[in-house]
A and B are shown apart, each in its own frame.
Chain A
Amino acid sequence: MPAKILIVEDHTDSREILRIQIEYLGYKVIEALRGEEALEKALVEDPDLIIMDIMLPGMNGIEATIALKQNPKTSRIPVIGHSAWKQNKDKAMAAGMVEFLLKPTPPRVFGEVLKRILGSSAERKYREAGGN
Chain B
Amino acid sequence: MTPTRPRFRSQRLIKAAPWRVQARHHGAVALTREIAFPKVSMKSLQYRQVLGREIKTMGHAAKLGRNSKHHNQSGQKEFELLKSQFLTNISHELRTPLNIIIGYVSMILDGLMGKLEDETRSGLTKAMNASYHMLTLVNNLVDLACLAAGVVEIKKQAIDLRGLLDELATKSGALIKDRPVVLIKEISPLLPRIETDKDKLEKILGNLLDNAVKFTAEGQIVLRAYPRSGAVEVTVTDTGIGISREIQQVIFEDFRQADSSETRGYQGMGLGLALSKKLLGLLGGRIEAESEVGKGSTFRVILPGESPNAGKDSDC
Binding site for B on A (CB under 8 A): 11, 13-14, 17, 20-21, 24, 55, 57, 84-87, 103-104, 106-108
Q: In the complex, identify which listed stretch (B55-63, B107-115, B189-197) lies at the interface while the others stay far away.
A: B107-115
Least Cβ–Cβ distance between B160 and chain A, in angstroms: 18
Q: A55-B9, A84-B95, A85-B92 are in contact. List 18 more A-B contacts (CB 8 A).
A: A11-B100, A13-B100, A14-B99, A14-B103, A17-B104, A20-B113, A21-B112, A84-B96, A84-B99, A86-B199, A87-B315, A103-B95, A103-B99, A104-B99, A104-B102, A104-B103, A107-B110, A107-B112
**Taking A11-B96, A24-B112, A55-B9 as contacts, is the C-beta distance between A107 and B316 under 8 angstroms?**
no
Least Cβ–Cβ distance between A129 and chain B, in angstroms: 34
**Taking A20-B112, A87-B315 as contacts, is the C-beta distance between A13 and B9 under 8 angstroms?**
no
Residues of B within 8 A of A106 (CB): 106
Q: How far, in angstroms, from A57 to B263 measured CA to CA in the complex?
A: 43
- B179 close to A (CB within 8 Å): no
Residues of A within 8 A of B106 (CB): 104, 106-107
Per-position 1/0 for B167-206, Cβ under 8 A of A: 0000000000000000000000000000000010000000
Residues of B within 8 A of A21 (CB): 107, 112
Cross-chain pairs A/B with CB under 8 angstroms, 6 sampled: A17-B100, A17-B107, A21-B107, A85-B92, A106-B106, A107-B107
- B7 close to A (CB within 8 Å): yes
Nearest residue, chain A, Cβ from B104: A17
Residues of B within 8 A of A104 (CB): 99, 102-103, 106, 135
**Taking A84-B92, A87-B316 as contacts, is the C-beta distance between A55 and B100 under 8 angstroms?**
no
Residues of A within 8 A of B9 (CB): 55
Nearest residue, chain A, Cβ from B155: A90
Nearest residue, chain A, Cβ from B92: A84
Residues of A within 8 A of B100 (CB): 11, 13-14, 17
Q: How far, in angstroms, from A75 to B14 measured CA to CA in the complex?
A: 34
Q: How far, in angstroms, from A24 to B102 measured CA to CA in the complex?
A: 17
Residues of A within 8 A of B99 (CB): 14, 84, 103-104
Residues of A within 8 A of B316 (CB): 87
Residues of B within 8 A of A103 (CB): 95, 99, 103
**Taking A86-B199, A107-B110, A107-B112 as contacts, is the C-beta distance between A17 and B92 under 8 angstroms?**
no
Q: How far, in angstroms, from A14 to B101 measured CA to CA in the complex?
A: 10
Residues of A within 8 A of B5 (CB): 57
Least Cβ–Cβ distance between B215 and chain A, in angstroms: 25
Q: How far, in angstroms, from A103 to B95 measured CA to CA in the complex?
A: 9
Least Cβ–Cβ distance between B44 and chain A, in angstroms: 15
Nearest residue, chain A, Cβ from B146: A87
Least Cβ–Cβ distance between B307 and chain A, in angstroms: 19
Least Cβ–Cβ distance between A52 and chain B, in angstroms: 16
Nearest residue, chain A, Cβ from B103: A17
Residues of B within 8 A of A87 (CB): 315-316
Do B92 and A20 have beta carbons less than 8 Å apart? Answer: no
Q: How far, in angstroms, from A85 to B9 measured CA to CA in the complex?
A: 13
**Taking A24-B112, A107-B107 as contacts, is the C-beta distance between A55 and B102 under 8 angstroms?**
no
Residues of B within 8 A of A20 (CB): 107, 112-113
Residues of B within 8 A of A55 (CB): 7, 9
Residues of B within 8 A of A17 (CB): 100, 103-104, 107
Per-position 1/0 for B1-43, Cβ under 8 A of A: 0000101010000000000000000000000000000000000
